[in-house]
Amino acid sequence: MAKTVLNVKTDKEVKDQAQQVAKELGVPLSTVVNAFLKQFIKDRAVLFSLNPNHKTIERYLDSAPRVK
């Protein structure tokens, strides 16, 4: 399959963090982007999961006794 260049504008911090995570996982950032694009084409939707952070989990646990 022929390769092409895709120029995307993003915040520098986002790019730097994404490159660091990709490096930690041992894959090029371009592989991550290609995987996302292929999934986007297949599903015709933007899919992502939400993982609550520590503060959100604390709020859930604090409010749990009040939920009936």
- The per-residue pLDDT for range 34-68, each reduced to its tens digit, is 999 999 999 999 987 878 888 888 888 888 888 76
What's the rounded mean pLDDT across residues 27-31?
A: 97
Please give the Cα distance from 23 to 27 (Å, whole number): 6
Type of residue at 4: T
Please give the Cα distance from 67 to 20 (Å, whole number): 40
What's the rounded mean pLDDT across residues 19-45?
A: 96
